[in-house]
Structure 1
Amino acid sequence: MPMSASFKDRLFPRIPQIQQHFQTPFHIYDESGIRETGAQLVKAFSGIPGFREFFAVKALPNREILKLMKEMGFGFDCSSIPEVILARELGARPEDIMFTSNNTSQEEFDFATQDGGCIMNLDDISLIEKVPHFPEMICFRYNPGPRRTGNVIIGNPEEAKYGVSHEQVVEAYRQAKERGATRFGLHTMVASNELDYTYIVETARMVLEVAEEVEAALGIKFEFVNIGGGFGIPYRPEQKTLDLARMSAEVTELFDGFRKRHGHAPAMFMESGRFMTGPHGALVTTAINSKDTYRRYIGVDACMSALMRPALYGAYHHIDVLGKDRDPKTEIYDVVGSLCENNDKFAVQRELQPIEDGDILVIHDSGAHGHAMGFQYNGRLRPKELMLRADGRVELIRRAETVEDYFATYDFEPSVLPAGA
């Protein structure tokens, strides 16, 4: 179940007009779909006092997308200086920004603590002494290691570079108290694109159990626990959607149980990115070449600089051929870009309708980790981004990169370190 029927019904009839006005390739996002998903999340977890979504900015760092998140009352999960800048430019307050970084530099710590700071989520116990102005509120990212079976995509926790180990977690909060922290949160992130709702439920159970252990050891109370992101979307047509209703009911029950045992319970935060925007975006591209050698290839005017998930992960993205999407799929193609890399492919040996030069291809589910993961290798540049507004307008929300952009970093003041200096 890739693109929703609603998005498809509103988008596909407009694509020829959009293509004529803006030209391909482009990513296009669905404002209505994003807002509907946000409303579903809020409703699903309304039984947990203090629930809040912190949108993972890395998934789709576009100002207009982040404006939607702010309008829905969401915060921002940031892991770099530019992401914090984006959030602050939109008026995000310190409590609206969760700064979750790893291998954090002193420059990043200095920046994160400016303008009132943010919710500092430390990735390692060694970072406690490196925070220049230690905040009143502190959070640690917890890595369960062998205590938890890894999510199929993110891998086994004990192999991950992220987080404080179970053996370190109490000591981390003890040291934070010594540096002056008086308010506390707990975070974890152990799943990616998980469609089995029970894995998310067990993640919530895990962080609540760790919170109980730390509270008992140090006499502190957690204001929140952050169960991370990892809510999956069904990229393949045969996959089922994440059961949000059952998941939220069981997670809410866990928080209710914590409250009954202790007389209080932390708020619950999460940092969904893919779930919020992934299905509500598409990469639209035009077939410009066909090649018949050992395989049959369809070359398009986009390449993996616009969507690298298939090349990086072997990920599946559903493809429709505009105007032919109801026709029989009688051909087998590799759908490829123009990059000088053999893995520059959007689909490998995919059954599709017959494709001719000039046909428009719609590559589904590019709304997260699509444009954001782009790059400039081979001098291939990232495409424009558009928004299909709720009122039917189509708006340019980021222009395509230009050759001038590519050469902009050569515009600098000369700087030379003399020999022998």
Structure 2
Amino acid sequence: MDNQLLVSLTEKHGSPLYVYDAEKISSQYNRIITAFSAVKNLKLNYAVKANSNISILKLFKKLNSGIDTVSIQELQLGLEAGFSPEDIIFTPNGVSLQEIEQAAKLGVQINIDNISILEQFGSLYPTTPVCVRINPHIMAGGNRKISVGHIDSKFGISVHQVPHIKRVVENTGMLINGIHMHTGSDILDIDVFLAATEILFNTANEFENLDFIDFGSGFKVPYKEGDISTNIEELGEKLTKRFNLFCKEYGKELTLMFEPGKFLVSEAGKFLAHVNVVKQTTSTVFASIDSGFNHLGRPMMYDSYHHIQNISNPNGRERYYSVVGYICETDTFGSNRRISEIKEGDVLSFNNAGAYCFSMASNYNSRYRPAEVLIYNGKDYLIRKQEIFDDLLKNQVLIDLD
């Protein structure tokens, strides 16, 4: 996206602002499709939690994607966006049986990740097909806060508990139609991920009536120049060969599923903010922007890196800055960053802002959540209005204390 265009969008829609590039989203989606083109039945289910704006969901519907949802509200958003129930998989963690029942009644694919709920659900709804989420006990990459397939993770049923799963199936007569895993974000080593897939293939052999195997996602995207990312093409070549062989041995053409989120939308997003104050201290130059971790929480939550550019002065002399927000506690986006000289009023652009950014935004400090814009076919569309004061009061109930 052109710098001048981005600056003009802040003038048009206000600041801070999220901007997404539909062309980049489409190219990332098609990159996976191409990498696994030799698989007869391939299904991508976009992970809604990465960015749940309904216009983004409609874009994935247009791309022929399914969706992966982790809450009943995400599921309902998917239905609102036009997805058919059969194109939705429901993969919650730690929710009540009642929420899973509600999802099942809507006709979506249920994915269960603990034996207690599996047994209760199977006893009540033995004819409703269920996918089982397996924990392969594999650390595939990324920091521990975003890795969910290791032995201490709350997610999934341990691969060592497969005999228990089979006992539940035998006692309830329920149908297991899918096997699933998700190792977490930022897969660094394809061979480690492939080792986890072998665990899933071995588990799949324990069930006779499967329709699909869901390998989750967690494909890594680059965050800065020279950064490593998951080699989708190499993974596609290796996993396709193994999957096709497995289907032949299993005696049935299964569907290979993935549920990418960050890989599809992260690089498509920019977060734009104006500089309020440039502050020189005895040791640091701070660039304070008109936003904070209430709008972009990833750096403070799990030390994520977002490349920062001064798009108002892209060719200026580079200096070192710590870019901070306006929240009244430590609120740092980047320390000691080399950025083109910053003046008050300049617009800074944060890369990789398409995933887990607006979806994690809040009204902390009673600040408004920002607007969102989608660039589609060369035109900018406002897809969420910036909040106003009335939005802060909308669901509050004023009581008479006299």
TM-score range, shorter chain: over 0.9
The answer for unaligned runs of 5 or more in structure 1 is 1-7, 415-421
Stretch moving more, 262-271 or 279-288: 262-271
Q: Deviations over 1:326-366 (max 9, x none)?
A: 3442x211111111121x11111111121001111110010
* Identical amino acids, percent of aligned pairs: 29
The answer on whether the counterparts of 1:143 and 1:163 sit within 8 Å (CA) in structure 2 is yes
Alignment correspondent of 1:305: 294
Alignment correspondent of 1:261: 249
Alignment correspondent of 1:395: 381
SS of residue paired to 1:205: helix
Alignment correspondent of 2:115: 125
Aligned in 2, Cα 1:69/1:190: closer, same or farther, shift over 3 Å?
Answer: same
1:244 to partner: Cα distance? 1.4
The answer on whether the counterparts of 1:205 and 1:254 sit within 8 Å (CA) in structure 2 is no
Q: Deviations over 1:247-298 (max 9, x none)?
A: 1000001112213433334211111000000000000111111111242111
User: What amino acid sits opposite 2:308 in the alignment?
Assistant: I
Q: TM-score, normalised by structure 1?
A: 0.88
- Partners in 1 of 2:20 and 2:135 — Cα distance? 34
1:30 to partner: Cα distance? 0.2
Among 108, 119, 132, the alignment partner of 1:140 is 132
The answer on whether the counterparts of 2:223 and 2:306 sit within 8 Å (CA) in structure 1 is yes
The answer on whether the counterparts of 2:316 and 2:341 sit within 8 Å (CA) in structure 1 is no
1:228 is the counterpart of 2:252? no
1:178 to partner: Cα distance? 4.0
1:17-56 pair list within 5 angstroms? 17-56=8-47
1:85-104 pair list within 5 angstroms? 85-104=76-95
1:76 to partner: Cα distance? 1.0
User: What amino acid sits opposite 2:232 in the alignment?
Assistant: L
The answer on whether the counterparts of 1:200 and 1:247 sit within 8 Å (CA) in structure 2 is no
Among 314, 333, 336, the alignment partner of 1:346 is 333
- Partners in 2 of 1:105 and 1:407 — Cα distance? 30
1:167-316 pair list within 5 angstroms? 167-176=160-169, 178-212=171-205, 214-215=206-207, 220-294=208-282, 295-316=284-305
- Partners in 1 of 2:119 and 2:135 — Cα distance? 20
Aligned in 2, Cα 1:162/1:246: closer, same or farther, shift over 3 Å?
Answer: same
- Partners in 1 of 2:166 and 2:387 — Cα distance? 45
- Partners in 1 of 2:23 and 2:159 — Cα distance? 41
Stretch moving more, 168-177 or 252-261: 168-177
Task: Give the RMSD, CA atoms, in angstroms.
Answer: 2.0
User: What amino acid sits opposite 2:76 in the alignment?
Assistant: I
1:135 to partner: Cα distance? 4.8
- Partners in 2 of 1:34 and 1:185 — Cα distance? 27
- Partners in 1 of 2:328 and 2:73 — Cα distance? 30
SS of residue paired to 1:95: helix
Q: TM-score, normalised by structure 2?
A: 0.92
Aligned in 2, Cα 1:43/1:399: closer, same or farther, shift over 3 Å?
Answer: same
1:365 is the counterpart of 2:359? no
Count of aligned pairs between the two proteins: 394
Stretch moving more, 381-390 or 268-277: 381-390
- Partners in 2 of 1:221 and 1:40 — Cα distance? 30
The answer on whether the counterparts of 2:190 and 2:235 sit within 8 Å (CA) in structure 1 is yes
